[in-house]
A and B are shown apart, each in its own frame.
Chain A
Amino acid sequence: MLAYMVRRLLYAVPILIGVNLITFALFFMVNTPEDMARAQLGAKQTSPEMIQAWKENHGYDKPLFFNSQAEGVNTLTQTLFVQESLKLFMLDFGQADNGRQISEDIQERMWPSLAIALPTFLIGLVTNIALALLIVLFRGSVLDTATMVVAVAIMSISGLFYIIAGQVLFSKLLHWVPISGYQSGWEMWRFLILPVAIGVFAGLGAGVRWYRSIFLEEINKDYIRTARAKGLSEIRLLFGHLLQNGLLPILTGVVVIIPTLFMGSLIMESFFGIPGLGSYTIDAINAQDFAIVKAMVFLGALLYIIGLILTDLSYALFDPRVRFDA
């Protein structure tokens, strides 16, 4: 297994280089270093000398991919791409264009992101599975049909609608929770309950339908038929046998998400004023702050790769037929 993991981690290096390369190319296709300097220095009173000084100060005076002024290997190494990429691989994210340390900001912002993403994920997972099992229990009934219709309806409506409707209903009309904001410590829950509830509800449609189809596929298998023939109650059948065996396909979709929970939710954080990493990325794109954009894309790719590796490992844990030795 160790060899497998090392091999997978080594595979990650070219993937991360590729991701970085694409990020560089896309970003600088839209924003030149001069645009970035103007965005930071402001439109007023900005002279070419100031722009040049800013570029030199932030290292954007180097060529992107090929330095024709340099010689030998320096033609490739003395470039913005190589210099910045090397730092990323050492997890040195450097400074944002406003001078703040990106690592410090990420450490500070990942907790609010987690505070909203983790409960949404866990409560959503449990709710989706519980509802899917309930529907499977009453499969073929009116409840099954009605739930599927509602699930499709929930999926069809934009998440933005749930956010605004939730804010208007629960905060403006019923006055139950603050409409937006965030506080650390125990007070945090008052600000999280609405976004978490909305996040769970918005994910119900797709989640329930997916888990239902997984469970329906399992419920016709021989081991279920045998268990039922032995006289097991439906509840024991569902939770004791069906859920356990249905976990494997669930793991595929779930474990890969876990590391990326740190990255936060772009829309939810923005609307609820949660100071997480999702809004950090959006702000950076709007401010043309390449240092943050590349750091967040790199981090996202890295966490996704970690998620994939964890998924593979979880296969081995839950399914004895899967081995990494071959």
Chain B
Amino acid sequence: MVGVLLALMFGLQLSGCSQDDPWNRPYTQSQAQSNTLFSSFATPPKHLDPVRSYSANEWAIISQVYEPPLQYQYLKRPYTLEPLTLTQMPEQRFLDERQQPVDADSDQVRYTEYHFYLRDDIRYQPHPAFARDKDGQFLYHNLTPAQLDGLERPGDLAQSGTRRLVAQDYALAIKRMAYKPNHSPILGNMRHLIVGLADYSDRVSQQRLDLTALRDTPIEGVHVHSDTHFSIRIHGRYPQFLYWLSMNFFAPIPWEALAFYQQPGLVKKNLTLDTYPVGTGPYRLVENNPNRQMHLQRNPHYQHGTYPSEGLPEGADPALLADAGRALPLIDDVIYSLEKESVPLWNKFLQGYYDASGVSSDSFDQAISVSSQGELNLTPEMQEKGIAFLSAVQPTVFYLGFNMADPVVGGYDQSARQLRQAISIAVDMEEYISIFLNGRGVAAQGPIPPGIYGYERSREHYNDVVYRWQKQGPVRRSLDEARALLSKAGYPNGQTPEGEPLTLYYDTPATGPDAKSQLNWYRKQLAKLGIELVIRATDYNRFQEKVRGAKVQLFSWGWNADYPDPENFLFLLSGNQAVINTNGSGVNASNYDRPQFNQWFDQVKRLPNGPKRKALIRKMVRLVQHDAPWVWGLHPKSLSLFHNWYHNVWPNPMANNTLKYRRLDPETRVANQQAWNRPVVWPLWLLGALILVSIYPLMAAYRKRQQQTLTQPAISQKSTSDQGKQTREDV
């Protein structure tokens, strides 16, 4: 330990650390002083190829690099799409069976054609895939072993190039989506939507990927008219298609990148489009070490984005418009470090080494205080550090589902419906949110979360099956009302007609010690009605298998919005998506299948937002509230904390490319890091002194032993000692 401490002192001296410069800073002082954002990731991203990636942690990276045609406006609510690489929003044309134009509201509409007009000033990030020699030949499309030797990232190659974004790049992205070995998660949806995609997919997937085949083989519904104009034709009407066009699946792919990355020498070194993306966005990925660090750097060719000057929601901080009109991005570098454990992550945030943080349950009490009215506020400790926080309801729903195909809780007869309604009243989600989420959630009234078109919680449109309207808003109905419903259902006091307690089964993948209290809570909720709840805990794989096979009775599940449209939530209850109707591949895990609902859903899917659509959504929500296929669980609230040197932070759960809007004040950061992390040196000296002081008695004792003479009493006293006590007197 002495050595360790000496090494520490010696090392710190060598590093030139002073009392002012923190010793515990996990990066260099120059990095701290630079316009660099420091953030973290808990799970290494698996895929950075936009055709494949579909996880939030992956999109946090690639959404800064790639640019699909559309994006969500940063500040504006409700969520609104705007052009990203386009000169205007896509032009829609409605076509009949013979592909002749018809009016938008015509019954003859069979196809919708979207026309995209690209800006002509967008260029790709610098990349060796574009580098050419003076004869115009690509420099690095046939790398030699010498060039590959020691190559760790594409940026290690000396030359790089760029080129203008063209419409063909968007067409190539769709073609890659169609190629089955790329495992695009949306191919299943798109192959039936984009005209000719299914045929194209089947055709090109029969053989090994051939770049030329992909480039030269056309898809019937995707047409490139010029370098700045392309169109996509889809079957029928599907207004939600525009939302898909804001996702990375539709980000442009330059063929040069495919040609570059298909070289076996690069694949062997893990250098592929899946690890080093090539895009036109505000940042480029210059280091991808999923085991340690990801480094985004400003794309020097990015010049087409400016900070929004409108759309500030009511009640938002006007300072959010302070940078209106400024060229983006406002931060030069972003460094994400791997942090698997919440303790170091939280402490680094408090030390000022991370600029922003979420709030885990471990650190909740330290960060947030909940008032008696349930309002979330920062604790004095956080306020003292100048930390701010933002809370936003997520476009997510967590629910307790009933399997509608189950003979006890399922079905559409009055008895089964009343049983589900009674349970819906008894399971007190407000209490759940208070106990297990520290108030970070909103009890759901139906399947649609707040912020999504069709969500309503007014006096006219609340869930009157579970709640009563009172002055303060909807209040959960009483247990007496739940018991009355249960009696009507044929289970008085939770007893079956045979006089046995009604026993229900709850399947869950939650098996850890943390889950025990939650499972007990569920048991107690049903016990309030006299119903016995049996927990069937299993691993996640088996749980999924049971749900897909409709072998569950009650279960918990959730859904996070792909896009801000009610269709993306109502389809969770569509009969066409029921797992028993789709051999387990549908998303309707509760197997709710009402012809009336399905019919309305088909209409809602095709209608644009407006009074007609809203009226249909209301009817659908009312129907499912009455049928109660779910206990309408909750919509979680996200909490994010950030330091006072981090600006323009605004929650936008639908947009992933928001880094470009953020701004830093590195000087304040460095000053605070120094103030908060002054090394406490005195224990080092104290420890050193203690060690030195303890050496003297040891030396003295040793000398005494060495100088001790052999005497008779010594022999008689010591010779009877055990083995461990034998000394030189024994001799």
Residues in chain A within 8 A of chain B (CB atoms): 30-32, 35, 38, 40-50, 53-54, 57, 97-101, 104-105, 108-109, 112, 123, 127, 134, 137-141, 143-144, 164, 167-168, 171-183, 187, 189-191, 193, 196-197, 200-201, 216, 219-220, 225, 228-229, 233-235, 270-273, 275, 279-280, 283, 287-288
Contacts and interface: CB of A to CB of B under 8 A. Distances in A.
Contacts of A123: 3-4
B725 A140 contact: yes
Contact of A189 (B11, B270, B272): B11
Given A42-B54, A177-B23, A196 B4 contact: yes
A108 B289 CA distance: 10
B188 A175 contact: no
Nearest to B678: A175
Contacts of A172: 347, 350-351
A109 B188 CA distance: 37
A182 B344 CA distance: 13
Contacts of A174: 679-680, 683
B17 to A, nearest CB: 9
Given A190-B15, A234-B706, A144 B724 contact: yes
A283 B583 CA distance: 31
Given A40-B46, A109-B291, A180-B344, A104 B24 contact: no
A42 B55 contact: yes
Given A40-B46, A101-B268, A191 B26 contact: yes
Contacts of A112: 292
Given A196-B4, A275-B291, A53 B180 contact: yes
B291 A280 contact: yes
A30 B539 contact: yes
A50 B706 contact: no
Interface string B533-567: 00000010100110000000000000000100000
Contact of B338 (A98, A105, A234, A273): A273
Most chain-B Cβ atoms within 10 A of its Cβ — which of A45, A141, A200, A220? A45
A43 B46 CA distance: 15
Contacts of B584: 48
A275 B585 contact: no
A177 B46 contact: no
A43 B347 CA distance: 33
Given A193-B8, A201-B1, 14 more contacts: A50-B183, A50-B188, A98-B274, A108-B291, A139-B724, A172-B347, A176-B679, A177-B8, A177-B23, A179-B347, A180-B339, A180-B341, A189-B11, A273-B341
Contacts of A189: 7, 11
A234 B723 CA distance: 17
A197 B2 CA distance: 10
A134 B272 CA distance: 57
Interface string B34-76: 0000000000101100000011000000000000000000000
Contact of A179 (B183, B344, B705): B344
Most chain-B Cβ atoms within 10 A of its Cβ — which of A53, A137, A179? A179
A233 B683 CA distance: 36
B369 interface: no
Contacts of A176: 8, 23-24, 679-680, 684
B181 interface: yes
Contacts of A279: 291, 340
B186 interface: yes
30 contacts: A30-B539, A32-B541, A35-B545, A42-B185, A43-B544, A49-B188, A53-B180, A57-B181, A57-B183, A98-B46, A99-B272, A100-B270, A101-B268, A104-B270, A123-B4, A143-B698, A172-B350, A174-B680, A178-B24, A178-B26, A180-B344, A180-B348, A190-B23, A193-B7, A193-B8, A193-B11, A228-B728, A270-B340, A273-B337, A280-B291
Nearest to A108: B291
B541 A35 contact: yes
Given A48-B585, A54-B183, A104-B268, A98 B26 contact: no
B726 interface: yes
B731 interface: yes
B588 interface: no
Nearest to A109: B291
- Those 9 A-B pairs whose CB atoms lie nearest each other, nearest first: A140-B725, A275-B291, A180-B344, A178-B26, A98-B46, A35-B541, A181-B26, A275-B292, A47-B188
Nearest to B15: A190
B343 A193 contact: no
B139 to A, nearest CB: 24
Interface in B677-711: 677-680, 683-684, 698, 701-702, 705-706
Contacts of A164: 343
Given A174-B683, A177-B23, A219 B11 contact: no
Given A193-B4, A273-B340, A30 B23 contact: no
B101 interface: no
Most chain-B Cβ atoms within 10 A of its Cβ — which of A99, A178, A273? A273
Contacts of B46: 40, 97-98, 287
B360 interface: no
B156 to A, nearest CB: 15
Interface string B160-196: 0000000000000000000011010111110000000
Given A30-B539, A31-B541, A140-B727, A179 B24 contact: yes
B24 A220 contact: no
Nearest to A52: B180
Contact of A197 (B1, B587, B683, B727): B1
B275 A100 contact: yes
A143 B721 CA distance: 17
Nearest to A233: B706
Nearest to A197: B4
A127 B2 CA distance: 10
B185 A50 contact: yes
B731 A229 contact: yes
Interface string B327-353: 000000000011111011001101100
B185 A41 contact: yes
A225 to B, nearest CB: 6
Contacts of A54: 183
A179 B348 contact: yes
Nearest to B583: A48
Contact of B274 (A99, A143, A191): A99
Interface string B353-378: 00000000000000000000000000
Contacts of B677: 175
Contacts of A108: 289, 291
B115 interface: no
A54 to B, nearest CB: 6
A134 to B, nearest CB: 8
Contacts of B679: 174-176
A38 B544 contact: yes
B451 interface: no
B286 to A, nearest CB: 16
Contact of B541 (A30, A196, A220, A235): A30
Most chain-A Cβ atoms within 10 A of its Cβ — which of B7, B292, B545? B292
Contact of A45 (B189, B350, B680, B706): B189
Contacts of A190: 11, 15, 23
A45 B190 CA distance: 11
A98 B27 CA distance: 29
Contacts of B348: 179-180
B725 A178 contact: no
A229 B731 CA distance: 7
Contact of A44 (B22, B54, B180, B545): B54
B77 interface: no
B193 to A, nearest CB: 13
Contact of A173 (B289, B587, B680): B680
A270 B43 CA distance: 12
Interface in B436-455: none
Contacts of A173: 680
A275 B11 contact: no
B702 A234 contact: yes
